[in-house]
Amino acid sequence: MTQALQIPQGGQKRWLRYVAPLVVGGVCLWLLARRLGGLDPQEIRLALADVAPGDWLVAALATALSFWSLGRYDGVIHRHLRTGVEDLQAQLSGISAIALAQMLGLGVLTGTLARWRLLPRLGPLRAAQVTAAVSASFLVAWALVTAAACLFLAPALLPQWLALLALALFLTLPAIALFVPELKVARLRFRFPSLQAMSAITFFAAVDTCAACLALWALLPDAPGFATVLPVFLLALGAGLFAGTPGGIGPFELTLLTLLPDLPEGELVAGILAFRLVYYVIPALLAAAHVFRPRPPQPVQDRARVPRLVPELLLDHAPRAESGVARQNGARLLGSAATGGLCVDTPQTLTLLFDPLAGALAPLLPRLERAARASNRMPVVYKCSARQAVEARQAGWQLLHVADEAVIAPGAFTLEGSCRRQLRRKLRNAEKAGVSVRHETTLPLPEMARLDREWKQAHGLARGLSTGRFAPSYVQNQRVYCARQGNRLIAFVTFHENRNQLCLDLMRHGAGLPDGTMHALIAVALEEAQRRGLPLSLAAMPARPGTEPLLIARLRRLVARRSGGEGLTRFKESFAPRRQPLYMAAPGRLSLALGALDLAIAMRRPARTVDEPLSSRAPLD
């Protein structure tokens, strides 16, 4: 008995993926041949002869515009995937890959091979990722453009509910990208494009499809208005894309013939043939010459990207000790040792934290804008001082007063005076409860971890990005003060420390804390800072309402109340610090608002620390 040949399931899927377009194309060509069987070839030749030289020129220019937008589209995807490929190389490789893929069919395969050939340092896997991202995102953008065109220009072509559904689904994508920037399914991780990338993708897809339609419209003798042809062209383009046939041949023609019945078939077929020559054949020949020309071998790109770490010497001499948070939040150096600052990535922004580590802010702003553009993000400066904010305003950036830093200068701290009456009472309560405070050099890490867990159970997941979170490797680089009741650790605080300042970072305690304990911890740190002649920062607290609009003032009070900022403000003001305003800056009002929202979300959903076990994380509140 003979055994039937069995094809593995994965092989069957691949086989069907490549054979299905040929089958669909064959069926469509058969249907097309039946429909055009009685068409006189002489009629097509006469229609082609009627195309004026000016119309050919318009079609050629529209084709050039379409492929220019496709190249820019590839540049956006390369920046999103952080391939490190320069924009011009990304655009040229994208134009050539798409020109070949749309002519030969099997877009993902041919596009990958073309990009790999032109950018060998990417490697085949990375080239396939770029091709897949381009294809998937273009389909989404095409759906939006097509739904809008049908809804506003030709409502009869597409059911209204379907067009509205497509628009509604697309409009939810920015919200998803903002609030859920990354999806994880098993071992796979999908990172949504940023809002800036989504806007660029949609814009370039609209330019591409409208320009391609213009090329066809210019070549159609006695064609109806452009607004009539556009939605029909978009539907025909989609039919060809989903069929997967080379150039969409078959489905594309059948859709146009069906939806443009008023045009004589001979003229329509002549226009389509001319369009395929201008938009498919000539670009494909030029692309083939570019792809297959000899070129020297290049090494495969190493995907492991080494971050530009911030030198400890810069952190030690930074104007604000708070810059020490770079040891945990993955910040890297933007600029140089002479003029540089801490730079962190969030899904929507590239953010310069605090004041520059060295030099002025103004020379860093153009560099920040270029770096943000290279990753499809918005440039933002967060929690800079008033002096640096003036430089940002002079550069044309918009400002927002986001917080006040509570600073106590050397020699300014005393327990005397009515403004510290509450502090004296708190310190007496702590003393009566038998609380003792001291600076710890050998850290009781297990006890500190216990307090951190208890604190998170009561307060939720600790915020991150511009503030620290408990991790043994992190607090060992800080100045730590511990409060004990007897031999039991009941609370601790940590400070960033450098040559210029001490800055409060972590405050942790368990349940049943004796009144005044946290005040006692800060008071001891203040006394030591006084002896060393260092200013002490109690870090940021909610800003006082100023001359800002009423709505912003109300939002500020609401955020402070919901986040516990009012209690934190009372605690810090008991030490009578001097308030120093801190600002957020961005190139425009919209980027300022979106940047503030993105940073707020990123702070509430920080990445897991290196030495933080998964089981220790409290649920998101």
Considering only 293-307, 449-463, 571-585, 597-611, which range has the smallest mean pLDDT? 293-307
- pLDDT given at position 157: 84
- pLDDT given at position 314: 83
- pLDDT given at position 492: 94
Q: What is the mean pLDDT of the chain?
A: 82
Does position 18 have pLDDT exceeding 70, yes or no?
Answer: no
CA dist 525 and 528 (Å) reads 5
- pLDDT given at position 3: 37
CA dist 388 and 206 (Å) reads 40
8: pLDDT confidence band, cut at 50, 70 and 90?
A: very low
Strand partners, 405: 540, 580
169: pLDDT confidence band, cut at 50, 70 and 90?
A: confident
CA dist 535 and 526 (Å) reads 9
Higher pLDDT, 183 or 578: 578
621: pLDDT confidence band, cut at 50, 70 and 90?
A: very low
CA dist 132 and 470 (Å) reads 40
pTM listed for this prediction: 0.79
Does position 467 have pLDDT exceeding 80, yes or no?
Answer: yes
Helix (H, G, I), strand (E, B) or coil at 167: helix
Higher pLDDT, 287 or 547: 287
Helix (H, G, I), strand (E, B) or coil at 538: strand
Other beta carbons within 10 Å of 267: 20
CA distances from 144 to 49, 200, 213, 378, 514 (A): 36, 13, 16, 24, 60
Q: 288: exposed, middle or buried (C-beta count within 10 Å: 0-12, 13-18, 19+)?
A: middle
pLDDT tens, position by position, 322-374: 988 888 888 888 887 678 888 998 889 999 999 898 888 888 999 999 999 98
CA distances from 605 to 463, 479, 609, 620 (A): 7, 26, 12, 8
Closest of 317, 363, 320 to residue 340, by C-alpha: 363
- pLDDT given at position 38: 57
CA distances from 525 to 239, 437, 480 (A): 71, 9, 9
CA dist 320 and 328 (Å) reads 16
φ, ψ for residue 43 (rounded to 5)? -65, -40
| Contacts (Cβ under 8 Å, ≥6 apart) of 261 | none
Whether 130 contacts 81, CB under 8 Å: yes
pLDDT tens, position by position, 29-74: 666 656 555 566 676 777 777 788 898 999 999 999 999 999 998 9
Q: Which residue has the tokens 């494909």?
A: 284
State what percent of residues in the chain have pLDDT above 70. 84
Does position 436 have pLDDT exceeding 70, yes or no?
Answer: yes
CATH code given to domain 310-621 = 3.40.630.30
Mean pLDDT, range 502-506, rounded to an integer: 91
Q: 452: exposed, middle or buried (C-beta count within 10 Å: 0-12, 13-18, 19+)?
A: buried
- pLDDT given at position 36: 59
Mean pLDDT, range 579-607, rounded to an integer: 87
Mean pLDDT, range 254-270, rounded to an integer: 84
Positions of CATH 3.40.630.30 in the chain: 310-621
Q: Which two tokens stand for residue 129?
A: 């990722």
